[in-house]
Structure 1
Amino acid sequence: MADYEERRSLLGDGDEGSSAGRRTAGRPMWAICDPSHLLHRVVVLLFMCFLGFGSYFCYDNPAALQTQVIQDLNLNTAKFMQLYAWYSWPNVVLCFFGGFLLDRIVFVVVFKRFHCVQVIFAAGALVNHFWLMEAGRFVFGIGGESLAVAQNTYAVNWFKGKELNLVFGLQLSMARVGSTVNMNIMGWVYSKVVDLVGSPGHTALGASLLIAAVTCLFSLICALVLAFLDKRAEKILHKEEGKTGEVVKLTDVKDFPITLWLIFIICVGYYVAIFPFIGLGQVFFIEKFNFSPAEARAVNSIVYIISAPASPVLGLMVDKTGRNVVWVIIAVVFTLAAHMMLAFTFWNPWIAMSLLGVSYSLLACALWPMVAFVVPEHQLGTAYGFMQSIQNLGLALIAMAAGSILDNRGYLVLEVFFCTCICIALMAVVLLYFVDYLRGELHFPHSPLFPFPYCHRFISLVMPYQ
């Protein structure tokens, strides 16, 4: 029975489609070639995970080389953070349309090709033209978050069911491997290039970034294979026959439930306090804690180092408990505590950053799969696209604001600003818990771990129509 349910969760009526595929072929398939078999799905998952490796490796190239970029190109912090803002700006629009198109066609390869023009960013450093580096980040960003939308939607299509949180965790784990390798290897790559060219400067910086761009070619190969496997599964399992006939429209956005909008707010409020902070973290640890550049890079990357192995484990835990909303609350509270430690204490930052790494992994495993529970399946691409679009709007604005705050007010005010963003996310997730209690839309059991154990009774008294 369990095997039957597992097969039905794969691309619709897996058993019937698989049988039809076998009859069409006239002979049984090997397990690794059968899209309804677990072994084949494991292979697909492998390519899904590697799909984002190059993207995440190159995304944080500026953070890994923050000191070098600022010194070699003679920039201030606000100008440096423009590299992150320019990455996010195109995705304010393209993530939404990317998700909209994904409900109809496989477009992941097209956007992955945009990723490979990371070389423009490297070329800008080589010739010492910062505007060209900004243009490179803009073009690189065209494919970045749209690729993440494709990755998320592929995960739901292949693994919707009890293992979905684990799959999201595995994807995040591999993405964080890319970020971790970037954080810890790019400084070494830069030093080796300096040895070759004879002195530090924009030439050494550009050559280092050009070497990093090679990782995008690896991810492009994974995108090609994944697109082929997905199309092949549609044919073998006759996925088209099971479609509802519903057509995705841009006007579907107005029909999104309030729970989805609260998920959007949580996403923005949380992530704007993570990625811009990591982008500025290297100099922060050098100036406040007197770390060496190597030590600063190491502690700045601990969030990624922890999330790589922790994400699958935490994803499995969320799968087993099913209390996604509660886990998101815990993650947001722990993140707020970590930022407050960094802002107001001189405790060893490894403590706060380790806590930040665990909470970041937990939130990603619990938050993103919730979208699949609150919108119809034919709108998943649109919902994930809109979520990424709003997230990138927040990241672009906060990246510019963070650079300006740091130049004018310093790190303490910047950390208070990040704490405020986390508090907004915390208010949204608590409201999400209340709304879900009243509507039951997320279908998650109400947890005794919720920090206010008498809220159920209170809501029942003040909202008798529930």
Structure 2
Amino acid sequence: MSTAALPAQQPGRAVAWIVGVLVAIALFGNYYVYDSIGPVADLLQQQRGFSDSQIALLNAIYSLPNVVLILVGGVLVDRFGAARMTLVTAGICALGAALTAFSPDFAGMAAGRLLFGIGAETFNIATLAAVADYFGGRGLALAMGAELAIGRLGSYGADMSPTWFSKAYAAGWQPPLTIAAVIAATAFAASLAYWWVDRGPRRAGLLPTGHKQAEKFVWRDLLHFGTAYWYLLALCVLWYSVILAFRSTFSIKYFQHVHGLDLAMAGEMNSYVFLAAVFATPAFGWMCDRVGRYAPFLAFGALLLPVALGVLALTSASLWVATALIGISYSLVPAVMWPLTSRLVAPNRFGTAIGLMWVVQNAGISGANLVAGWLNDRAGASAANPGGYAPMMEFFGLTSLAGCVFALLLWWVAGRARHEKAVRA
């Protein structure tokens, strides 16, 4: 995305907050639809005969197109403007959600999730650019944090939907996905309203996106990244692969079959991770900024994930213990990872660095979903055979441990760099 300076004049404060509210509504819908598969996973297996591999594919296929599209999403936003791209991609997402809800077979549902994925990641970039358009230089961090917090409330809402919409779930797998499609349509309506409000400031030349030369993704810039960045990239792909594949696809089903929770309670338990992140992520970010030591916090957050998975799979401790640990990890790691990236690479290569991290992140999430689904099917994981989930948990545990190793290597490299800087001083 373009790193050009903002125009000297900016839209009025009232217009900025109207846009902020509309973008927040749209983000809520996008996050809700993404996480709408987990709560219906057991129903899809019971009522439609889907295997765990098929259920995994419904989330994995979301990430697959973004292995490529994420590289051009920022360029499209820079070229056509945040408002226009938000509207277009919100429309694509709404069509994908509708196709998922109303398709008569698995192929149609998978096509709907693929269509949703094609729109969703560029939609996320466009909404972040929208916040930067209207709040750049005046409370941007607060505004962006608030927008992402509202988005995470969408994930919380999806997990709580079995409780909030219990009658819909009692009617089968389709009504819950229909609700998700309606919420996607609401997100599209909010995006349309944002595009309408945006026309005035854009015509007045007060916004940076939509009329600047988009920066190119330059592969040779990768040669200038240091060792610490590559350790951070490895942590990024391993940590996100585990936490999103588990929490967004299999955790609710796992809680039902292994820990004996009903659907409503399993969704509620899963939701607390997202609810905690709404408040804790900005707080952890503020704390790391004040202390000025990012790598130790990142290593601590990464360590909590394999510990939490071990508590889940190997002990009889209350689910609240593992949920709390995962919640802290989910709040702490993102709060540190993205600011730390900006410290590890030159400003003129930051876009390339983030783009590459998002590419491998999406590839990792897709791969982890597919592997976990295959392991469950191979071991016959089900309510009648809860032990069949053990291979999946071993896979997630080992992958998260590998991520922790890279976090510790990053901490070591950062500590050595601080020592060398002190000696030179």
Aligned to 2:184: 213
Per-residue CA deviations over 1:322-367 (Å, capped at 9, x if unaligned) read 3222221111112221111111111111121122112211111111
Aligned to 2:402: 424
Distance 1:101 1:424, change over 3 A: farther
Shift of 1:116: 3.1
Shift of 1:412: 2.0
Residues 235-314 of structure 1 mapped to structure 2, 5 A cutoff: 235-236=205-206, 247-258=215-226, 259-278=228-247, 279-314=249-284
Q: Distance in 2 between matches of 1:238 and 1:44?
A: 15
Aligned to 1:126: 102
Q: Distance in 1 between matches of 2:144 and 2:231?
A: 20
Q: Does the alignment pair 1:200 with 2:172?
A: yes
Q: Distance in 2 between matches of 1:119 and 1:193?
A: 22
Q: Is the 8 A contact 1:54 1:178 kept in 2?
A: yes
Distance 1:249 1:62, change over 3 A: closer
Distance 1:323 1:46, change over 3 A: farther
Distance 1:247 1:192, change over 3 A: closer
Shift of 1:60: 0.7
Q: Distance in 1 between matches of 2:77 and 2:103?
A: 37
Q: Is the 8 A contact 2:97 2:113 kept in 1?
A: yes
Q: Does the alignment pair 1:367 with 2:337?
A: yes
Q: Is the 8 A contact 1:173 1:309 kept in 2?
A: yes
Aligned to 1:450: none
Aligned to 1:179: 155
Q: Is the 8 A contact 2:96 2:114 kept in 1?
A: no
Residues 280-429 of structure 1 mapped to structure 2, 5 A cutoff: 280-409=250-379, 410-429=388-407
Residues 91-106 of structure 1 mapped to structure 2, 5 A cutoff: 91-106=66-81
Q: Distance in 2 between matches of 1:150 and 1:260?
A: 25
| Count of residue pairs brought into register by the alignment | 412
Q: Is the 8 A contact 2:89 2:123 kept in 1?
A: no
Q: Counterpart of 1:213 in 2: which secondary structure?
A: helix
Shift of 1:436: 3.4
After TM superposition, the structure 1 stretch with the greater mean CA deviation from structure 2, 115-124 or 391-400, is 115-124
Q: Distance in 2 between matches of 1:256 and 1:225?
A: 42
Distance 1:43 1:209, change over 3 A: closer
Matched residue type, 1:340: G
Shift of 1:248: 2.9
Give 5+ residue unaligned stretches, structure 1.
Answer: 1-9, 22-28, 34-39, 440-445, 447-455
Matched residue type, 2:67: V
Aligned to 2:382: none
Residues 449-460 of structure 1 mapped to structure 2, 5 A cutoff: 456=419
Give the TM-score taking structure 1 as reference length.
Answer: 0.76
Q: Is the 8 A contact 1:149 1:385 kept in 2?
A: no
Q: What is the RMSD computed on CA atoms of the aligned residues?
A: 3.7
Q: Distance in 2 between matches of 1:222 and 1:336?
A: 43
Identity between Structure 1 and Structure 2 (%): 25
Aligned to 2:59: 84
